[in-house]
Each structure stands twice: as structure tokens, then as C-alpha cells.
Amino acid sequence: MSRITLADVIAALGGDLVGASDIEITRLGPLEGADSGTLSFLSNVRYQSQLQSTAAVCVIVAPAFAEAAAARGAAIVTPDPYLYFARLTQWWAARVRPQATPRIHPSAVIDPSAVLGEGVDVGALAVIEAGVTIGPGARIGPHCVIERDSQIGAGTRLAARVTVGFDSRIGARCIIHGGAVIGADGFGFAPVKSADGGRWEKIEQLGAVQIGDDVEIGANTCIDRGALDDTVIADGVKLDNLIQIGHNVRIGAHTAIAGCVAIAGSTRIGAHCTVGGAASIVGHLQIADHVHISACTLITRSIAKPGQYTGVFPFDDNASWEKNAATLRQLYSLRERLKALEKKL
């Protein structure tokens, strides 16, 4: 990798430079722990005090902090430092990471009916079944399995060990991390009643999965195929690791969901929502646009109004928790006793 200077950064990403343009940058990093080759950023007022103490050679700041930053060294001034920094990481990664050589490894098993676009890079030992179409510039990592009649959009990237089930459609410029399973059967069974307690009869899952453009899907996340209609993930959705998306769920555009969230079947989540880690949403609900669900919260009813929703037992030292939790079992009767007292007075 060649020498990178602040001039290169400004040329690529804009911003107002305060300081010498020939300063060399050797790494990106947080204010804390920065060294004399570090380009850093200040996006959260909480870390403001680190601005004076950091050893970073240059700091990306908002106009409000331009003076304070300039007083200590070079700075790039831009209206949204965090967004600037995001773009900087992309530009940086493109420069410093070795470029994958476009290739289809001879060990890959590709059905002759599969259609591979220009510049498609299929990694070693990938399995591409019959009827698959892969858009130009897509990358399929080692040990991926793309089942029959699926479509992978242009420029989409599958890490190692991803499954895309039959009939699935994945849009352009998506990133799917390792171990994700797209298009496994939804969890659908009809109860068969009988005197001995009964059993479950499988409902074959006849729908598929549709994923829009610019979607990112985390490692070991599962998105089930629909029972009759499809499961649908709209454009720009970001899903973290180990998330479960049940059959026929629909997630609106640009919604972001943190790790370990479980969303049960047929629930529809609006656009521009956020869901905190390990939250759950039961099935057959409607969640409006711009709803924000806190971590570890179970949503049990539809939500029509934008806003933040929470349902978490606040943690405490174990002894205090035990006292309060035990009393919780008497809460209804405490209310009745309070009512009785109020009546008396």
C-alpha cells in the first residue's frame, strides 16, 4: 500500500482541512490510544475532553469543534463527522485490503444451468445449483450453498459458509456474513389431536425469501422462507448476528436490528425502525414506521405510534432483586390493600 496523506483523504471525501495537507496517515483510530499517524474523529460530545489529550495527528470534527481541534493540530471540518468517518473507513478498506482476484476455484460445484454475471468470483468449494443466476461482480465465499432457482444481485457478497435456499431472491450490493441461513423452512405444524396427547403434522413451506438491495445480514442469522407468501426484507435493512426472522415476516426499508433478536412469524415491521439486541416480537403484529424497541424487550401487541418502547426488569444486586421480585408476586393484592385503606379514609 502506498503512502496516504491528508490531501488524498480530502481529494476523495471532501471536508475543510485545517493544517498541512502532506501529513501522512498510517491508521484510523479512536481518540483514545491514537498515535502520531492516526486520523481520528469526534462525533459524540461525551468524548469532547479527549480532544485535548489525544495524540492523533488529525481529528475529524464538526464546525462547533473546529477551533478547539485546530488549537491542538490538524483537523478536517465537516458537518457530520461520524458519516464522514464511515465513508473514510470504506475508502481506507478499499486501499489497504488485498483485492480478491476474480476467479472461480476449480473445486466449486456449479450446475451447468447456472448463469454467472461478468466478474463473478466464486470461492473454493461453493455449490451453485441448477437455475441459479448470479449478477455481475458478485462474490460467493468458500463452502456457500446456493440452492436451485435462486438469484443473487449484482455486487452482492456472501462470506464463507452461507446458505441461500431455493427460489430466494437477493438484491444488489448486499453483504451476507458467515453461517447465515436464508430460506430454511418456517416453523409450521398443524396439531393432530388424539387421546394420547397428539402430534404435529408438518405444513410444507411453499413461499420463498425476498431480500432487497443494500441489505446486510449478520453471521449465523436465519431468515425462514414463507409458508405460502414470501418473507420480505426491504432495501437498506441491516441485521446483526444470530437473529431469527420467522416465516412471512416483512421488514420495512432501512430498519436496523441488533444481535440475537427473535421475530416470530407474519409480523410486519415498518421502515426506519430500530430493534435493540435480544429483543423479541411475537407473531402476527404490525409495528409502525419509526418505532424504536429497547434491548431485551418483548413486544406482545401491535404498535401504531412512533416512539421508544421498553419492557425490562431493571437489574440490581441479587439480594435487592430477590426482595423486590418476591414482592412482585403480591403486587395485585398490594393494590387491593391500598384501595381498601383509601376507602377507609
In which residue are the cell numbers 426488569 written? Answer: 313
The number of residues that bind a second copy (CB under 8 A) is 133
Smallest separation, CB 225 to a second copy (Å): 11
Residue closer to a second copy (CB basis): 172 or 222: 222
Q: Among residue numbers 1 through 20, which ones bind a second copy (CB under 8 A)?
A: none
Q: Please report whether residue 231 would count as binding a second copy according to CB under 8 A.
A: no
Cα distance between residue 27 and residue 42, in whole Å = 16
Least separation in angstroms between CB 274 and a second copy = 10
Residues in region 265-284 near a second copy by CB under 8 A? 271-272, 276-278, 280, 282
What residues between 160 and 219 interact with a second copy by CB under 8 A?
A: 160-161, 163, 165, 175, 177-179, 181, 184-185, 187-193, 197-206, 214, 216, 218-219
Specify the residue, 70 or 296, whose C-beta has the smaller distance to a second copy.
Answer: 296
CB of 120 to a second copy, least distance (A): 18
CB 153 within 8 A of CB 115: no
Judging by beta carbons within 10 Å of its beta carbon (0-12, 13-18, 19+), is residue 197 exposed, middle or buried? exposed
Task: Give strand ranges (E) for 123-233.
Answer: 127-128, 133-134, 139-140, 145-146, 151-152, 157-158, 163-164, 169-170, 175-176, 181-182, 189-192, 199-202, 209-211, 216-217, 222-223, 231-233
Stretch that binds a second copy, among 1-9, 54-62, 63-71, 80-88 (CB under 8 A): 80-88
The catalytic residue among 247, 284, 290, 292 is 247
Query: Measured from the CB atom, is 53 or 302 closer to a second copy?
Result: 302
Q: Please state, in angstroms and rounded to a whole number, the distance separating the CA atoms of residues 200 and 96.
A: 54
When binding is defined by CB under 8 A, the residue of 169, 240, 250, 267 that contacts a second copy is 240
List binders of a second copy among 125-164 (CB under 8 A).
125, 127, 141-143, 145, 147-148, 159-161, 163
DSSP letters, 79-122, are: S-HHHHHHHHHHHHHHHHSPPPPP-B-TT-EE-TT-EE-TT-EE
Q: Considering beta carbons, is residue 116 or 281 the nearer one to a second copy?
A: 281
Among 28, 57, 122, 251, binds a second copy (CB under 8 A): 28
Q: Which of 135, 153, 171, 236 binds a second copy (CB under 8 A)?
A: 236
Taking the alpha carbons at both ends of the chain, their separation in whole angstroms is 82
Q: What letter represents residue 150's amino acid?
A: S
Contact stretch for a second copy (CB under 8 A) within 1-9, 14-22, 113-121, 286-294: 286-294
Q: For residue 47, which of 5, 85, 103, 87 has the smallest C-alpha distance? A: 85
CB 265 within 8 A of CB 187: yes
Strand order in the sheet with 145-146: 109-110, 127-128, 145-146, 163-164, 181-182, 222-223, 244-245, 262-263, 280-281, 298-299
272 is catalytic: no
Contacts of 112 (CB under 8 A, 6+ apart): none
Q: 96 or 115, CB closer to a second copy?
A: 96
301 Cβ contact partners less than 8 Å away, ≥ 6 residues apart:
285
Closer by beta carbon to a second copy, 12 or else 282: 282
R_g of the chain, CA atoms, integer Å: 26
Task: Name the minimum Å distance from CB 8 to a second copy.
Answer: 17
User: Distance of alpha carbon 143 from its chain centroid, rounded?
Assistant: 22
Please report how close the Cβ of residue 283 comes to a second copy at its closest, in angstroms. Answer: 9
Cβ 177 to a second copy, closest distance in Å?
Answer: 4
- Residue whose CB is less far from a second copy, 28 or 120: 28
The residue from 92, 135, 152, 269 that contacts a second copy (CB under 8 A) is: 92
- Catalytic residue positions? 247
